[in-house]
Amino acid sequence: MPLSARNRIEGVVKAIEKGEVASTVKIEITKPAIITSMITKEAAEDLGLKAGDKVEAVIKASEVMVSKD
């Protein structure tokens, strides 16, 4: 399914918790992915980022959609 969204990470559903109105879907990522982040120069300098550093990517979004072919 073609989408304009670029922050797509493939995975496998491991668990579903169904509530009265919403469901929580646990997805295990199955292949390596590269996440590209654009941050300010000041933020990169404050963090002292360099290639090889171990970091955590925090995705700030109001929702995470799930698609299935």
Position 55 pLDDT exceeds 70: yes
- Six-digit token string for 29: 């990522």
Question: What span, in angstroms and rounded, lies between the C-alpha atoms of 67 and 24?
Answer: 14
Q: Whole-model pTM above 0.75?
A: no
Count Cβ atoms within 10 A of the Cβ of residue 11 and give its class: 0-12 exposed, 13-18 middle, 19 or more buried.
middle
Query: What's the pLDDT band for 9 if we cut at 50, 70, 90?
Result: confident
Nearest to 29 by CA among 4, 9, 49: 9
Structure confidence at residue 10 (pLDDT): 83
Model confidence pLDDT, tens digit, residues 11-34:
889 999 999 998 889 988 888 878
Question: What span, in angstroms and rounded, lies between the C-alpha atoms of 53 and 55?
Answer: 6
Could you tell me which residue, 33 or 47, shows the higher pLDDT?
A: 47
